[in-house]
Amino acid sequence: MTVYPLGLILTGRNVLVVGGGHVAQRRVPALLEAGAVVTVVSPSLTPALEALPVTWVKRGFEPSDLDGQWFVHVATQRPEVNAAVSAAAEERRVFCVRADDRTQATAWTPAVTRHGPVTVAVLSGGDPRRSMALRDAIHAGLESDTLEPAAHGDKPRGVALVGAGPGDPELITVKGRRLLAQADVVVADRLASGLFLEGLRPEVELIDAAKVPYGRQLKQEAINEILVDRALEGKFVVRLKGGDPYIFGRGGEELIACAEAGVPVTVVPGVTSAISVPALAGIPVTHRGVTHEFTVVSGHIPPAHPDSLIDWAALGRMRGTLVLLMAVENLAAIAAELISHGRDPQTPTAVIQEGTTVREQVFRGTLATAATLGAQPPAIVVIGEVVNILNQDH
């Protein structure tokens, strides 16, 4: 059978789904993402479907349910119901997808992958496994930039502030990796893994922003100027930042500089090290019955410094988890300040050095001993009972 491939514009148009089980649960989100007005006819729905913005008709299918519909997706486990929907749809000239019997359908659902503005749909003559395998191969090619991801007219403009995640190159977001593959210029921090940069095209200009702790670094004003200048030259610039651009990353300053120069900015959030690094080291920052809160604090200046904006007295009194970033150099002073304001010196404390990378080291102790454990930056400090909770439980 030869099929005619087509992309449906469903925005604001009525679509019917018959069945409220797991097949429907997989199909409805894509219909909603396409802007369809979805009605589900079924005596029951899965909890996930109940939470979606659909109209639920709580009963079995009736042929009149198809009146006014542009498209119907049949997803019940009862062949006689599916056949009845197919017959009613055929009579009304409404295209019908059947999850149980493709040969009785008037439309097929392809295996789909999306890459920015590009949508690829694969049909393999009724062989869904082959369709999915081809879809996955195409997706891998788009992700690795071995396939052209978009027409030149669709190339991003301006500057993208991309969070690279905590260090493991697999923890960057899909959108972040896609924009990185399309960059003309990459301005990268030291904390953004060098493995991201190996796959850049040879002609990409790579600018090292350094940001070495307590060492050399490109001043923020110079970084802002580079972003603006390269973007105004018509180049697409990716500012690749460790963690998330807006968590102690000065991404807001870079956005302001670009906006004042009329340069469009795309912000791509990153997996923040404050949560991910402890998690992968076996430390959840919250745990039922242990803590209902966690606080993330920058420790790049000591508590007594006149520029400090932190209420250390309040942090000393809190019972929840305290996560410190950029705090290794000032850890002794921070620990003393917390203890002086009531935090128990024996509070479990962990310092996770170069988390999520092959060089990760985890140092465990107490708040009183944390500064003596020998950790070096970059490192995340976690203070609280959660530090040992998984060790105790497992």
Looking at residue 214, its pLDDT comes to: 47
Instruction: Tell me what the mean pLDDT of segment 154-179 comes to.
Output: 90
Which CATH superfamily does the domain covering 274-393 fall into?
Tetrapyrrole methylase, C-terminal domain (3.30.950.10)
Q: How far apart are CA 44 and CA 394, in angstroms?
A: 39
pLDDT at 118: 81
pLDDT of res. 316: 96
Task: Select from 210, 219, 229, 242 the least CA-distant residue to 159.
Answer: 229
Q: What is the mean pLDDT of the chain?
A: 90
User: CA 380, CA 166: separation in Å to the nearest integer?
Assistant: 10
Tell me which amino acid residue 255 is. L
pLDDT digits (tens, 9 = 90+) for 276-323: 999 999 999 999 999 999 999 999 999 999 999 999 999 999 999 999
Better-predicted residue by pLDDT, 140 or 38: 38
The verdict on domain 155-271 having CATH code 3.40.1010.10 is: yes
What is the three-state SS of 338-362? HHHCCCCCCCEEEEEECCCCCCCEE
Q: Which of 324, 325, 326, 334 lies closest to 302 in space, CA to CA?
A: 334
Question: Does pLDDT of 152 surpass 60?
Answer: no
pLDDT bin (cut points 50, 70, 90) of residue 266 is very high
To which H or E segment does residue 48 belong?
helix 47-50
**So what's the pLDDT on residue 212?**
47
> Which range among 122-131, 200-209, 317-326, 376-385 shows the weakest confidence by mean pLDDT?
122-131
Instruction: Give the per-residue pLDDT at 151.
Output: 46
pLDDT in the model for residue 211: 54
Which of the pair, 354 or 212, is modelled with greater confidence? 354
pLDDT in tens, 179-227: 998 999 999 887 565 667 777 788 999 888 865 454 456 789 999 999 9
* pLDDT computed for residue 117 by the predictor: 75
Between these two residues, 101 and 56, which has the higher pLDDT value? 56
Q: Mean pLDDT lowest for which of 130-139, 185-194, 276-285, 339-348?
A: 185-194
- The superfamily (CATH) of domain 14-109 is NAD(P)-binding Rossmann-like Domain (3.40.50.720)
User: Hey, where are the domains in the chain?
Assistant: 14-109, 113-143, 155-271, 274-393
Residues in the chain: 394
Return the sign of the alpha-carbon dihedral for residues 56, 59, 65, 66.
Answer: positive
Whether the per-residue pLDDT at 381 is higher than 70: the answer is yes
Q: What share of the chain is helix, strand, coil (3-state, %, to 5)?
A: 35, 20, 45
Q: pLDDT at position 143, please?
A: 72
What integer pLDDT is reported at residue 210 of this predicted model?
66
Active site residue 211: yes
Lowest mean pLDDT of 65-69, 87-91, 108-112, 361-365, name the range: 108-112
The whole-angstrom separation of Cα 270 and Cα 259 is: 21
The CA distance from 280 to 287, in Å, is 15
- Per-residue model confidence (pLDDT) at position 181: 87
Q: Is the pLDDT of residue 376 over 80?
A: yes
Closest listed residue to residue 244, CA positions, set 222, 205, 271, 214: 271
Instruction: Supply the pLDDT for residue 244.
Output: 94
Quick check: pTM over 0.85? no
CA distance 246 to 241: 10
Cβ count near 154 (within 10 Å) = 11
Of these residues, 168, 184, 211, 244, which one is catalytic? 211
- Is 377:340 a contact under the CB 8 Å cutoff? no
